[in-house]
Amino acid sequence: MPVSGFARFGWARSAADGVAGSARGRRAGTRSPGARHDRGRMLMTARTAHPVEGVPVDGPDDALGHALPSGGPGPGGLPSHLLLDALPQKIWMLDREGAVRFANRSAREIGTPLGGPDGLDGAIHPKDRVRAAAARTAAIGSGQPYDLTIRLRDASGRWHWHQTDLVPVREGGAIVAWMVSAADVDEVVADNQALEATTNLLLLTHKAAGVGLWDWNMRTGALSLSAEGARLHGLPAQASVITSSAWTGLVHADDRSVLWDAVTKAVTTRTPFSVDVRVTTEHGGTRWIQSLGRVLDDAHGLSGRIVGLTLDITARKRAEHALSTAKEGAEQANRAKSDFLAMMSHEIRNPLNAVLGYTEHMLTRSREPETLRHLAAVQEAGEILLRVVDDVLDVAQIEAGQVALDPEPFLMTELLDGTAALARGSVSGKSVTVEVVRDPAVPTWVLGDIGRLRQVLLNLLTNAVKFTPAGRIVLAVAPDTNRTGAGRLLFTVSDTGIGMSAAQQERLFVPFGQGDESIRRRFGGSGLGLVICRHLVELMGGQIGVASEPGRGTRISFAVLLPPA
């Protein structure tokens, strides 16, 4: 039937207006064609009208195709077929039996022949033809329109997804023809498919990782849980919605206040939501879960929802508990060791002091050279043993936290000269000089623990004497220019002795550690002296460091706070 013949039914102007209105509606987002194709299943919507100029028509008398005054011209006086040819949508006009009687330019470009019902089906993808034909037959049989998402080829032969609509054209309440329109929605469908694939992948990832999703509506109190989120809360593993009170009931009684404190903090401070709580598992056990989320605002800028993730952290909590228990046990064992060492040191020191006292007494009374030589050897060995015992006792007290500083005003010269004099006494005939260098900017009187400072300096000087066969040892003190603030003094003990390698320096402040075994065999010592020095310096708020090269001597320095007195 020619176009002019259909004009008497009044379909031409209505078709042009209706398709334009439908296109405007789709562009405005009133439909989601890609969602309606639903993975290739046929969707058919029963309706009695079609939007004309964007306004739905309520009854059959006003339906699309209601006879308008006869006449071929459309709006603006143009022929109706020209208006239809100008539309980007593909338009077909079918007779009452479904045979194609008209196709606009877009439809003709894909090779739509006029004639029998297969004229339209030839442009449809082979996999969509059966359901398209079935939907069209059902619509024609029932007199109801339909919309369907199918694939149509373009002029180059490529297949595109189209949203198709079949609408009856009526005259006097009777259906005299059918109009089919098809709009290209390939990009929309592709985007929806990509979104669906991404969503499925995200859900699969969450499930594989054991991560649950949740969304809490603060207005209604409804908490939406994904299947994994429900399982982590001890519920059946299926997506569910529970109330706020039910959510609270799932949490261990001791952790409920922690949960709501975290909610209050997140909402009031606008910070991320984070909380660790215990829940009862589906088997009656206890599971630790961590919930992380963010507060979302509504259109008025008010807090409306918190969305986030739930993780199973039971294994981590068990590991933390085991580590804490092990740490506590280690600390108890260390305290017991320190107490034992302190006790044993006292038990050894008392009889040892008695031995040294009797030895000194016998040295003053004996006159036989052989006896004096043996007594002197005993005395020397006893003094060495006493120093080792003292070192062990000091380390035990330090580790047990039983060492406290006793600051008092003292003369700096008293500390420096007295300590240097004791060090000179241990030179034992070596060609070694012990010198003191004091910066004029150092205060005469300072406030500090002179006993602990003397212990550190004497230990450093004694070591310097031990490892310096010949040369010079210098004890220097000056203001610490590397730190801001007044009252910090830098002490340095440098020598021209045998020096140390980098590897030896790493072991220098380790308990019972010396440069290497050859050093221990050659020079002796417990290896505790520098450990004691490090602890005492740290107790006084400083740090000790060493700089040395083999054959070029050693320089050990530390800075502590000694304000002017």
Query: pLDDT tens digits, residue range 388-442?
Result: 777 777 777 777 677 788 899 999 999 999 999 888 887 877 889 999 999 999 9
Higher-scoring residue by pLDDT: 354, 21: 354
Confidence of residue 203 (pLDDT cuts 50, 70, 90): low
pLDDT the model gives residue 362 = 84
| Helical (H) or strand (E) element with 548 | strand 544-548
Q: What is the pLDDT of residue 264?
A: 92
**Does the pLDDT value for residue 227 go beyond 80?**
yes
- Which of 94-103, 121-130, 506-515 is least confident? 506-515
335 vs 359, which has greater pLDDT? 359
pLDDT greater than 80 at residue 168: yes
Instruction: Average the pLDDT over 186-203 and give the result.
Output: 68
Q: Given this model, what pLDDT does residue 492 score?
A: 95
Model confidence pLDDT, tens digit, residues 247-259: 999 999 999 999 9
Six-digit token pair at 446?
């300072």
CA distance 165 to 23: 11
Least confident residue range of 167-176, 191-200, 311-320, 511-520: 511-520
Point out the least confidently predicted range of 114-128, 264-278, 538-552.
114-128
Alpha-carbon gap, residue 308 to 224, rounded angstroms: 11
What does the alpha-carbon distance between residue 38 and residue 449 come to, in Å, rounded to a whole number?
84
Query: pTM surpassing 0.95?
Result: no
- Is 167:66 a contact under the CB 8 Å cutoff? no
- The predicted-structure confidence for 496-524, as pLDDT tens digits, reads as follows 998 888 888 777 776 655 544 545 444 44
pLDDT confidence tier of residue 376, bands split at 50, 70 and 90: confident
Confidence of residue 372 (pLDDT cuts 50, 70, 90): confident
pLDDT of residue 32: 39
The contacts found for 538-543 with CB under 8 angstroms, 24 or more apart, are 539/398, 539/403, 539/405, 539/452, 540/405, 540/448, 540/449, 540/452, 540/453, 542/488
Q: Is the pLDDT of residue 386 over 50?
A: yes
- Confidence band (pLDDT; 50, 70, 90) for 173? confident
CA distance 288 to 251: 10
Residue 521: per-residue pLDDT: 43
47-51, 277-281, 365-369: lowest mean pLDDT where?
Answer: 47-51
What does the pLDDT look like over 131-164, one tens digit per residue?
888 888 888 888 888 888 888 987 788 888 888 9
- What are the backbone angles phi and psi of residue 28, rounded to the nearest 5°? -80, -5
What value does the mean pLDDT take over residues 519-530? 56
pLDDT at 200 (0 to 100): 60
Q: Report the share of the chain in percent with pLDDT over 90.
A: 22
Say if residues 485 and 471 touch (Cβ distance below 8 Å).
Answer: no
Mean pLDDT of 233-251: 91
Mean pLDDT, the chain, integer:
77
* Spatial separation of the C-alpha atoms in residues 245 and 236, rounded to whole Å: 18
What integer pLDDT is reported at residue 50 of this predicted model? 34
Domains and CATH numbers, the chain: 80-185 (3.30.450.20), 191-314 (3.30.450.20), 319-397 (1.10.287.130), 404-561 (3.30.565.10)
Q: What is the arrangement of strands in the sheet containing 554-561, beginning at the earlier edge strand?
A: 431-438, 470-479, 488-495, 554-561, 544-548
Q: For the chain, what percent of residues have pLDDT higher than 70?
A: 77
Res 204: pLDDT: 57
Statement: residue 15 has pLDDT above 70: no
Q: H/E element holding 299?
A: none
pLDDT attached to residue 502: 83
**How do residues 269-298 score in pLDDT, each as one tens digit?**
989 999 999 999 888 899 999 999 899 887
Residue 260 clears pLDDT 70, i.e. is over it:
yes
pLDDT beyond 70 at 41: no
Per-residue confidence (pLDDT) for residue 520, from 0 to 100 = 47
Mean pLDDT across the stretch 226-244? 90
Q: Side chain identity at 434, as an amino acid letter? A: V
